[in-house]
Amino acid sequence: MVLDRMRSVAGLGVRATRAVRDAGVLRPIRPDRAARLVFSYARFGPVPATLGAMAALRFPCRTALIDERGTLTCAELEEHAASLATALRSRMGDGRVGVLCRNHRGFVETVLAASRLGNDIVLLNTDFSATQLGQVAEREGIELLVHDQEFTATVDGSGFAGRRLLAWAGTGADTIDSLIGGTEPEPIVPGRTGNVIVMTSGTTGTPKGARHDMSLSALVPVALTHLMRVPLRSGAPIVIAPPLFHILGLAYTAVGLAMGMPLVLPRRFDAREILRTIADHEAEALVAVPVMLQRILAVDDRPRTPALRVVVSGGSVLHPHLSEAFMDAFGDVLVNVYGATETGWATIATPQDLRNAPGTAGRPSYRLTVKVLGEDGRELPPGETGEIYTGGGLRFAGYTGGGGKHVLRGLTGTGDLGHFDAAGRLFIDGRADDMIVSGGENVFPGEVEDLLGGHPDVAEVSVTGVDDEQFGRRLAARVVRKAGSAVTEDDLREYVRGHLARYKVPRDVRFVRELPRTGTGKVRTGAPPD
């Protein structure tokens, strides 16, 4: 077993986390030693390395991760991370580690290894162009870049001059696998607590890196709320469909490690394959962004997934027509989480919330303040739309390139517009910079998107504002028809006219083959239609 050479990375001496074998049976360390080691691993701070180490102590033989290469137990994942950390310690200084990987073991191993060293980790979007990658790598001070072989051309064209390691499909000396296989793990006591820097998921320009001040006092209330509202079970497989570099994928990687849930990591999203994966592994949980749920619903003759009991949606607005259609097809299993890269989780909607108030983002997490404020800074009553501000949870510490979010009386602005209903449930009306004024009327594109998205002939739709000489701005819709549909522009305009105010009818309707999306499922703004 791999635990034969597993050692502590918290500076307690060799084999401090050792489990023993007796006649081939792996036995965990004694409870008294485990209790002492809890405090030892706390030296890493609230970082992924702590979660990986504690999972190995609690569930050494339990499956930690499943990807295209097979499975790793919690003990094996911990040993891989310890070996990689030991190897990286002699190959780099205090600089940052960039991770440009799809969802697989190499991503997780790198994050666990770098965080136990105390180095900052920068999670990079796999959709980056070479120019974007070069700009971000230079701004963030990346010293070591760990990337999949498929991104070699992008890295080559980025101008990155630092050290590189291959994480997937690579061979030779400069690979994660070669370092792990050729290095005996040694005790490491980090001199500092590293940060995980997540890129904002903007659809235009160069993304910013978001930093947070992490503390147990901030994380515990959010974790307790999650436990009470999201019925995940320890030991039950969880399929993570969004990219791990996205805050949603990263958060549920942490949740899975903390709860001893096998992480099932498909490298790429394919709706039918995701359903097969859920069925094959009898996964009880799925994490996805709304567009993934939409594409799962569109699969004909769907594989049965009787074990599925929780589906977590996040990352973008969950429209009412989608939440209702999904639960009608899969049962009342859907949970909607709302937050931002900068502010973390803010609200959680249970299946009952989504049935009673389709499209809601739910109620605030325990000990977390969520307010809707007007332009004058006053708190707005239920039903009135204003900017959403949060406080008391994950504390945003600013962007790595400088700047931050608007802060008012200790609350951080999210940039989202929303409102509460009379029952205290939050609804997201759109981004503040998405709202358009057409002929003096305020219009939220999301309302029109939700209506058109529920049309029986529409597969996907994106509604934005464009300049108009007469009205200042007007609505424009890009629509993907369902297969075999002959719906026309006039049909859709008339459909909107029959349900919404006249000024909300898109004057421009254009049919396209597909909507250009980011790796996290958001529609790219300003992209030319087909």
Strand 508-511 and strand 472-481: the pairing is parallel
What is the domain-level CATH number for residue 453? 3.30.300.30
How many Å apart are CA 300 and CA 323, to the nearest integer? 19
- Is 448 part of any domain? yes
Would residue 356 count as lying in a domain?
A: yes
CA–CA separation, 428 and 347 (whole Å) = 11
One domain, residues 80 and 151: yes
Cβ(141)–Cβ(161) below 8 Å: no
Same domain, 416 and 366: yes
Task: Specify whether 274 is located in the same domain as 231.
Answer: yes
- 417 and 446 in a single domain? The answer is no
Looking at the 3D structure of the chain, how many domains does it have? 3
Query: In terms of domains, do 130 and 61 share one?
Result: yes
- Same domain flag for 466 and 419: no
Looking at the structure, tell me whether residues 303 and 449 fall in a common domain: no
Mark whether 144 and 234 lie in a shared domain: no
Query: Is 227 in the same domain as 299?
Result: yes
Query: Of 131, 159, 194, which residue constitutes the final position of a domain?
Result: 194
Q: Is 165 in the same domain as 246? A: no
Q: Residue 35: name the closest of 54, 21, 11, 50 by CA.
A: 54
204 found inside a domain = no
Residue 340 covered by a domain: yes
Q: Are residues 224 and 125 in the same domain?
A: no
* Domain stop point among 162, 194, 226: 194
Helix (H/G/I), strand (E/B), else coil: 382: coil
328 belongs to a structural domain: yes
In a domain, 523, yes or no: no
User: For 111, how many CA atoms within 13 A lie in the half-sphere containing its CB?
Assistant: 29
Which pLDDT tens digits describe the chain residue by residue (530 residues)? 333 333 333 333 323 333 333 323 334 444 444 444 444 455 566 788 889 999 999 999 999 999 999 999 999 999 999 999 999 998 888 899 999 999 999 999 999 999 999 999 999 999 899 999 999 999 999 999 999 999 999 999 999 999 999 998 766 668 999 999 999 998 887 878 888 888 875 544 567 776 655 555 666 667 788 888 999 999 999 999 999 999 899 999 999 999 999 999 999 999 999 999 999 999 999 999 998 999 999 999 999 999 999 999 998 889 999 999 999 999 999 999 998 665 667 899 999 999 999 999 999 988 788 999 998 999 999 999 999 998 876 666 567 765 556 778 878 888 889 999 999 999 998 887 777 877 667 788 888 998 999 999 999 999 988 887 777 788 899 999 998 898 999 999 999 999 988 888 998 999 999 988 876 677 776 543 44
Task: Kindly state the DSSP code that residue 248 receives in the 8-state scheme.
Answer: H
Contact present, 357 and 423 (Cβ < 8 Å): yes
521 assigned to some structural domain: no
Domain-embedded: residue 209: no
| CATH number, domain with residue 81 | 3.40.50.12780
Last residue of a domain, one of 400, 431, 462: 431
Domain that holds residue 443: 436-511
Q: Domain check: are 279 and 419 in the same one?
A: yes
